[in-house]
Structure 1
Amino acid sequence: MSIAIGQAGFTVDAWDPGYSAALAADALAELGPTSAELDLDVELLAADWRPVSPAPDTAPPGVMLIADGVRRIDARVWSNDAGAAPPSPGIAASYAAGIVRCTPGEGAPAELAAVEVRRSLFTASPYASDIKASAGTYRVETAADDSMEGLSLALQQRLTQLEVDLSVRCRDDDAGDGDLLIVDGPLRGRTHLPRTVGYIKTHHTAYLPAPQAGVVSALGPGQRTPVFLMGTSWRRHAWYLALPVRSAAPWAGIVRCEAGADMRPDEVVELADAITLALPSLAGVDYKDPRAPQNLVPIGGLEKLLRHRLGDPRLLYRSLRAAAGR
């Protein structure tokens, strides 16, 4: 929605202010070359970039599996290392992953294919043992170090692995090779999965040079940028696509998709067309989701279910306090 007051015009971001903006202000200010290694000539020469619509003969995926996960720190804990001082810090965390199965174009509701909840104690201490609380058991998972960053990274790695395990299991159950797996977030750690796309809703970094970033701004609903290769600490193919949106805010309705760097150009272009054709019908709506349209309807529903499955945080915290004896 664009609103003008007096002589000054301004735009209201479509996302609820309780969430970070879909396009970070620092990214908007730096729409120029970044330290990322880019190959912009994968599908079209950089000088020929323009909005791309899916080819007329593009077929939507027969089945889409959408994977997502949620995490929550239930308590910060200290492990008494066999009398050593000082105690080692850790976090008791609950995390869950799930898979939703969708059939594009049939109007059928999304189906929950798999869900799993785990509780773990993340610590670098070699002396830590499982916490057996009345509300659940927290299994020890070793972190590389005891900094909060190291503990949080260990939690994220376990969550990512859980998503991978569920995705492989669901694909084995489907016993087909025509499906397409969408993982909510970057593809890091999942590039080995076939026909898999990372789905990024929020833009913290402006990867494209100004001329190509201008193509992103010019995208209409159901269009995408040409495919390009991007390398930071890891390499992947990427493209931006536009979902239907009413807001005129910068890059409103824009998401970034990622695919494995080892795919052939024709393979990734075919994948990009299929995902661009399928996603607009799954776009979130603003009266239901504060992060619409980027938060796809199946993702929003899955997140809500997974957070519920994590359990009552107050109950878990009290049970951890009781297990500690105070």
Structure 2
Amino acid sequence: MKLFVEAWDPTYGAAVESADFGGGAPSSSSEATLDLDVEIPAESWEPRSAPLDVRAPDVALLVDGVRRTDARVWVGDETTVLPGLAASYAAGVVRCDLRRATAEVVTARVQRGVFTPFTGGAPALVTSAGRYPVLPAKSGELMAMSAAVQQHLQALESSVLAESRDESTADELLVADGPLRGRAGISRMLGYIKSHEKRYLNGRPLSVVTALKAGQRTPVFKLGTRWEQYTWYLRLPGQSGAPWSNLARIECSVELPAQAAIALADLSMVTLPRFAATSYKDPRAPQNLVPIAGLERRLRTMLGDGRLLHRALTLAAHREPAGV
């Protein structure tokens, strides 16, 4: 019998959302289109180590955002009342100076809103704890309203990142916690995905993923889902056991030349493992990078006390017809 215990705290879900017991890979296969021959032919895949002449950048900017639903609400007028989500969300950037071994949060902002399909002339909901403008959602379904919150959070992440960049600094790597999605056009930017829901690879390429040692990556390949990206898997240092433990999937823009994507993949090998968390400090170690964990704590503090915000929303709703 084989038994593996992940360091990742199960209260955060799982690093691999569903795994089969044969290879330890996510069991939910994907219908994404693949080009496995970007860096080397698929039949020649093997784990890759960083070239000796590749060094980490002087500066890494890591961007992340957090969100919270403060209350489920109803919004409307005399004839129509529709559901909504009152949500708070925040985004920030931590600047890591790898020459001086320092890190600081350089930009952080919080916003709030009521996300609902009812937007016809609805004024902002003003509470004692903050102002909630009424923002559009495609429908009153929870998934649609949640997607609207996520869209505004991503826009805020892009805004704080633009504020934090030093355009005069060429040796600067940008890392977004999560998929790139609509941010793929930004140069020298990586999307960092720390949990795995889909199995994209099979056969020899899949065996290369599970054979990776700490600090190694797979060859770069092209992945097409809703957005097409260059991507690769990287194994981080830390306690290892299950074949898919300590793995992150990294993305970069498909608009880059293939050689530029490969150079970024090499750069990720000498940069991201330096930020890997340890299990006694972080329940999502090693994938939850240390600068990101610190930024998340700062941002969640900025969101405010959820109980107080819920009370403030309740009191404000009682003062206004239909909650607006």
TM-score tier (shorter): over 0.9
33 and 204 in structure 1: CA distance in 2 versus 1, 3 angstrom threshold: closer
Compute the displacement of 1:178 (Å).
Answer: 2.0
Out of 54, 74, 94, which is 2:50 matched to?
Answer: 54
Return the TM-score normalized by structure 1. Answer: 0.93
Q: What secondary structure, in the 3-state scheme, does the structure 2 residue paired with 1:322 have?
A: helix
Out of 278, 282, 289, which is 1:285 matched to?
Answer: 278
Q: What secondary structure, in the 3-state scheme, does the structure 1 residue paired with 2:195 have?
A: coil
Q: After the TM superposition, which residues 290-301 of structure 1 pair with which residues of structure 2 at under 5 Å, given as runs? A: 290-301=283-294
Single out whichever of 119-128 and 232-241 deviates more from structure 2. 119-128
Task: State the distance in 2 between where 1:294 and 1:232 align.
Answer: 23
Return the TM-score normalized by structure 2. Answer: 0.93
Task: State the distance in 2 between where 1:74 and 1:32 align.
Answer: 32
1:245 equivalent in alignment to 2:238:
yes
Q: What secondary structure, in the 3-state scheme, does the structure 2 residue paired with 1:112 have?
A: strand
Task: State the distance in 2 between where 1:200 and 1:71 align.
Answer: 18
User: For 1:198-224, what per-residue CA distance to the aligned partner results, in whole angstroms no more than 9, with x for missing partners?
Assistant: 000000001011311110111111110
User: For 1:287-320, what per-residue CA distance to the aligned partner results, in whole angstroms no more than 9, with x for missing partners?
Assistant: 0100000000001111111101100001100000
Q: After the TM superposition, which residues 121-270 of structure 1 pair with which residues of structure 2 at under 5 Å, given as runs? A: 121-127=114-120, 128-171=122-165, 173=166, 175-270=168-263
User: For 1:77-99, what per-residue CA distance to the aligned partner results, in whole angstroms no more than 9, with x for missing partners?
Assistant: 11122x114x1111110000000
Out of 294, 306, 312, which is 1:313 matched to?
Answer: 306
How much identity, in percent, do the aligned residues show? 47
Q: What secondary structure, in the 3-state scheme, does the structure 2 residue paired with 1:41 have?
A: coil
Task: State the distance in 1 between where 2:71 and 2:29 align.
Answer: 41
Out of 84, 89, 98, which is 2:83 matched to?
Answer: 89
Task: State the distance in 2 between where 1:55 and 1:112 align.
Answer: 31
Compute the displacement of 1:126 (Å).
Answer: 2.6
Task: State the distance in 2 between where 1:109 and 1:189 align.
Answer: 30
Q: What is the identity, as a one-letter code, of the residue corresponding to 2:63?
A: A
Compute the displacement of 1:249 (Å).
Answer: 2.0
User: For 1:221-260, what per-residue CA distance to the aligned partner results, in whole angstroms no more than 9, with x for missing partners?
Assistant: 1110000000012200000001002130231110000001
135 and 307 in structure 1: CA distance in 2 versus 1, 3 angstrom threshold: same
Q: What is the identity, as a one-letter code, of the residue corresponding to 1:260?
A: S
CA contact (8 A) 2:25 2:244 kept: no
Compute the displacement of 1:141 (Å).
Answer: 1.3
Q: After the TM superposition, which residues 99-114 of structure 1 pair with which residues of structure 2 at under 5 Å, given as runs? A: 99-104=93-98, 106=99, 108-114=101-107
Out of 38, 44, 65, which is 2:40 matched to?
Answer: 44
Q: What secondary structure, in the 3-state scheme, does the structure 1 residue paired with 2:7 have?
A: coil
Task: State the distance in 1 between where 2:191 and 2:139 align.
Answer: 28
Q: What secondary structure, in the 3-state scheme, does the structure 2 residue paired with 1:61 have?
A: coil
5+ residue gaps, structure 1: 1-7
212 and 145 in structure 1: CA distance in 2 versus 1, 3 angstrom threshold: same
Write out the 4+ residue segments of structure 1 that deviate beyond 4 Å after TM superposition.
26-33
Out of 91, 103, 111, which is 1:118 matched to?
Answer: 111
CA contact (8 A) 2:18 2:27 kept: no
CA contact (8 A) 2:28 2:198 kept: no
Q: What is the identity, as a one-letter code, of the residue corresponding to 1:155?
A: V
Q: What secondary structure, in the 3-state scheme, does the structure 2 residue paired with 1:47 have?
A: helix
Task: State the distance in 2 between where 1:73 and 1:321 align.
Answer: 14
User: For 1:17-65, what per-residue CA distance to the aligned partner results, in whole angstroms no more than 9, with x for missing partners?
Assistant: 2121111224746669731110000001000000001111112112100
